[in-house]
Amino acid sequence: MAVKKLGAQTVKFQNPPSIIATATVVGPVEGKGPLRNYFDLILGDFKFQEKSWEKAEKKMLKEAVEMAVKKSGVPSDKIEYFIAGDLLNQIISASFAARELGYPFLGIYGACSTVAEGLGIGAMLVDGGYADNIVVGTSSHFCSAERQYRFPLELGNQRPPTAQRTVTGAGAAVISTKNQNPRITYVTTGKVIDMGAVDPNDMGSAMAPAAVDTIVMHLEDSKRTPEDYDLIVTGDLASVGKDIAQKLMLQKGIDVSNKYTDCGLLIYSPEQDVHAGGSGCACAAVVTFGYIFNEMQKGRYNKILIVATGALMNSTIVQQGETIPCIAHAVALENL
C-alpha cells in the first residue's frame, strides 16, 4: 500500500528530505536584476568562454552542480543520482553535463517545470530509502532557446507584450537524508492540461490553468489552505499568466492575492525590457535555489509552495496546428 500517498496526486514524506545546499549561475541580464545578490556566479557574457551558446549552457549547469556539491560537503563519490533536464533538444545540456560529472544520471524533461519535477523525484528517492544524497539541476539559455524556438537573435522583429525572456542560468540543489532545514515535505505531481492556447508568444496564459489545477489538487490532497503557506510561487507565468491564474483561483474560491508571486516577475525589474517577464527552466530554478532557499535559511520564510510550470511543445507541432499542452508540479518547502 502506498502509505506516503495523499489523495489523487500528492505525496507526503515520512522523513522529509533536506535541501542541504544549492548553487546558481546566471547570465549578465539576470545579474543586473533585483535578485543579483542571491546568485553564486554572474556571467559577464553569454558564451562563458565557450564557442557556442549550447556549450555555454552545459557549462553553466556543470558549474552549478559542482558548486552545490562542494557547498554541501558531501564527497563527490557519495552523490548517488544526478537528476536533470533542460529545454534543448534531447536535453543535451543535462546529459553533456552528466558526461563530465560522472554521476549516475536520470534525464528528465518537464520544460520549465523541470526543477520541481527533479526535486519531486529526488525527494521520493531519498525518502524511499533508495539514496542518501542526490543532486538535482536544470538550465536554460536565452540565446540557445531563441534559436531553437523562435528566430535568430539579430533578426529585427518586434515581440508582443505577452512574450517572455528565457532566463540564462542554471541551478542545482543537493537533497539529502541529513537532519537540516529547509525540507521537502509534500510533492504534488501535475496533470497535463491543455486549454487550447496556440500562441507561442504567450506562454503565461497557456500555463496558468495547469498551475491552478496543481495548486487546487495540492490543497485538496493535503487538506491545507493558502493560509498554511508564507508564499505560493509559480514558475514562469510572468505578468500575464499570473493575473489570469489569480482570476482562475478566485473563481474556485481560493484567495491567494496577498501571498502569491511568480519567479518570472521576481527575476527581472520592470525597467529591464523583458516584456511580460522571465521564463525557461532556469527561471524557477535560480529563484528557488537562490532567493527562496536563502530566505528560508535566514528564517524569513518557513513554508513555501513552489509550483513550477512548463509548456510541453516544440515548434514543429505548433506549426502543425496543435494546441499547447502544459504542466505544473508543486513542491512544498518547509523549515521544520
Partner 1 sequence: MAKITQDQKDYQELVKNSKPKPPYLKNLVMAFLVGGLICVIGQLILNFYISLGLESTKEAPSATSATLVFLGAFLTGLGVYDKIGKRAGAGSIVPITGFANSIVAPAMEFKSEGYVFGVAAKMFVVAGPVLVYGIASSALIGLIYYVVKF
Chain contacts with partner 1 (rule: CB under 8 A): 51-54, 147, 151-162, 194-197, 202, 205, 209, 239-240, 243-244, 247, 320-323
Q: In which residue are the cell numbers 499568466 written? A: 241
- The nearest distance, CB 60 to partner 1, in angstroms, is 17
For partner 1, give the closer residue by CB, 81 or 260: 260
Closest CA to 135 of 61, 187, 208: 61
Which CB atom, from 115 or from 206, has the smaller least distance to partner 1? Answer: 206
Q: Are 30 and 21 in contact (CB under 8 A)?
A: no
Distance of closest approach, residue 101 Cβ to partner 1, in angstroms:
24
**Closest distance between partner 1 and the C-beta of residue 318, in Å?**
11
CB of 243 to partner 1, least distance (A): 6
Question: Shortest gap between Cβ of 323 and partner 1 (angstroms)?
Answer: 6
Nearer to partner 1, 51 or 298 (CB): 51
Q: How far is the CB of 275 from partner 1 (least distance, A)?
A: 9
Give the residue with the Cβ less far from partner 1, 87 or 203.
Answer: 203
Q: Are 159 and 196 in contact (CB under 8 A)?
A: no
Q: Cell numbers for 189, please give them.
A: 505531481
Nearer to partner 1, 37 or 157 (CB): 157
Alpha carbon of 326 to those of 13, 60, 182, 204: distances in Å?
Answer: 26, 26, 28, 10
**Residue placing its CB nearer to partner 1 in the complex, 248 or 286:** 248
Indicate the residue among 117 and 202 with the shorter CB distance to partner 1: 202
Cβ closer to partner 1: 50 or 295?
Answer: 50
